[in-house]
């Protein structure tokens, strides 16, 4: 009984953290991208615009909820939930500090598989939203999302295979422990740079963020799969996107940046939490930086890049990593 209670408490804490993080990720993104474009960004609501997410949330809650007449009502209502739930579920396996209270299921032996499975289901919400809206832009957006996620999932899985090979386990706790030989060079980003680059690129594609944001390419598809959504249903899609951003930043941190590890972390969980947050924040900022810099891919080039470049590189990386480990090269044993 107490285990059940503890798990529920932890789960609630993770959801609250994810949602608070979502609100302020939007703020960080808007302020940062404004500075990159020589603008100021939202700074009127509250000090430095810090209450902007609250204002936007309130606005979206009070908006009228409209369902298009030709839409498939049931699926139309279901799709936003299908998009949010996997995004939040990803947090289950991310240990955000070294205390067991901040670790819901990071010790599960199938954690990496769980991540890949949940990321695969996350596209259902988007594809069904596009299809059920009965709008050509939405349908195209949903189709693109499905095709894109399938193509990039392969390369992402293979990048993670290299990580799992390095750690010798698919458990998040073990992956973090293997990156703790005392110095920063223990991080997998230095021992598996190709896998890290592959994961970063495919994560952007999974998130449908720039430069892979064909799913909601404004110039071609208005808002893609969420064209027909408004009010809280739109907010749920928005939430799923940003929560997934945080979750994938967290996963990158765990896989390649040593998770909560850092100097003097020892047994003090607040320090671990601080290190984890700093690393996640850096990942989020890099995502914004990428969005401010790179133009969008053309659709055929996106597919060619995924299948003809990333997949062979990822395969080669797995083979080389396996060979290095088999021959016991220092740093890989």
Which span sits near other proteins by CB under 8 A: 4-12, 99-107, 269-277, 289-297? 289-297
Closest by CA to 225, choosing from 234, 215, 213, 239, is 215
Show Cβ contacts of residue 298 under 8 Å, excluding neighbours closer than 6 positions: none
Q: What is the end-to-end Cα distance of the chain in Å, rounded?
A: 42
Residues 178-237 that bind other proteins (CB under 8 A): none
> Binder to other proteins among 38, 263, 267, 300 (CB under 8 A)?
38
Q: Is 333 in the site for other proteins (CB under 8 A)?
A: no
Which span sits near other proteins by CB under 8 A: 29-37, 59-67, 222-230, 249-257? 29-37
> Binder to other proteins among 6, 7, 39, 185 (CB under 8 A)?
39
> Binder to other proteins among 34, 48, 100, 277 (CB under 8 A)?
34
Nearer to other proteins, 307 or 332 (CB): 307
Q: Is 2 in the site for other proteins (CB under 8 A)?
A: no
Q: How many CB atoms lie within 10 A of CB 271?
A: 17
Nearer to other proteins, 42 or 95 (CB): 42
* Nearest distance in Å: CB 41, other proteins: 8
Q: Is 37 in the site for other proteins (CB under 8 A)?
A: yes
Cβ proximity of 292 and 33 under 8 Å: yes
> Binder to other proteins among 8, 9, 20, 40 (CB under 8 A)?
40
Q: Is 301 in the site for other proteins (CB under 8 A)?
A: no
Cβ proximity of 17 and 11 under 8 Å: no
Nearer to other proteins, 40 or 150 (CB): 40
| d(C-alpha 55, C-alpha 44), whole Å | 11
> Binder to other proteins among 61, 121, 293, 312 (CB under 8 A)?
293
Tell me whether residue 185 is exposed, middle or buried, using C-beta atoms within 10 angstroms of its C-beta: 0 to 12, 13 to 18, 19 or more: exposed
Which span sits near other proteins by CB under 8 A: 38-46, 85-93, 125-133, 136-144? 38-46
* Nearest distance in Å: CB 63, other proteins: 20
Is the N-terminal amide bond of 211 cis, ω within 30° of 0? yes
> Binder to other proteins among 101, 289, 298, 323 (CB under 8 A)?
289
Cβ proximity of 177 and 166 under 8 Å: no
Task: Quote the tokens at residue 113.
Answer: 């598989």
Q: Is 101 in the site for other proteins (CB under 8 A)?
A: no
If you search the block for the tokens 């659709």, which residue do you land on?
A: 299
DSSP count for the chain of H helices, then E strands:
13, 0
Element (H, E) at 80: helix 73-89
Q: What residues make contact with other proteins under the rule CB under 8 A?
A: 32, 34-40, 289, 292-294
């Amino acid at each position: 009984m107490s285990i059940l209670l503890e798990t529920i408490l932890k789960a609630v804490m993770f959801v609250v953290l994810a949602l608070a993080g979502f609100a302020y990720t939007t703020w960080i993104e808007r302020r940062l991208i404004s500075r990159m474009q020589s603008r100021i960004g939202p700074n009127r609501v509250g000090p430095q615009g810090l209450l902007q997410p609250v204002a936007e949330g309130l606005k979206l809650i009070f908006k009228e909820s409209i369902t298009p007449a030709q839409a498939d009502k049931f699926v139309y209502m279901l799709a936003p939930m299908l998009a949010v739930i996997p995004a939040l579920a990803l947090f289950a396996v991310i240990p955000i500090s070294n205390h067991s209270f901040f670790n819901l299921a990071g010790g599960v032996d199938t954690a990496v598989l769980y991540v890949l499975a949940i990321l695969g289901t996350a596209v259902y919400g988007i594809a069904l939203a596009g299809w059920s809206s009965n709008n050509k832009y939405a349908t195209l957006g949903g189709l693109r999302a499905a095709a894109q996620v399938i193509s990039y999932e392969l390369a992402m899985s293979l990048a993670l295979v290299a990580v799992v090979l390095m750690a010798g386990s698919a458990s998040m706790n073990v992956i973090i422990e293997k990156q703790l030989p005392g110095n920063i060079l223990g991080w997998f980003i230095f021992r598996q740079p190709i896998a890290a680059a592959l994961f970063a690129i495919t994560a952007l594609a999974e998130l449908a963020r720039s430069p892979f944001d064909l799913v909601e390419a404004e110039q071609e598809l208005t808002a893609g799969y969420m064209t027909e959504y408004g009010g809280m249903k739109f907010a749920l899609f928005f939430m799923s996107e940003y929560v997934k951003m945080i979750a994938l930043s967290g996963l990158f941190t765990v896989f390649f940046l040593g998770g909560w590890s850092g100097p003097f972390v020892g047994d003090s969980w607040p320090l671990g939490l601080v290190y984890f947050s700093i690393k996640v924040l850096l990942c989020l900022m890099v995502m914004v930086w990428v969005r401010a810099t790179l133009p969008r891919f053309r659709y055929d080039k996106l597919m060619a890049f995924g299948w003809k470049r990333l997949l062979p590189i990822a395969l080669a990386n797995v083979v080389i990593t396996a060979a290095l480990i088999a021959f016991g090269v220092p740093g890989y044993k």
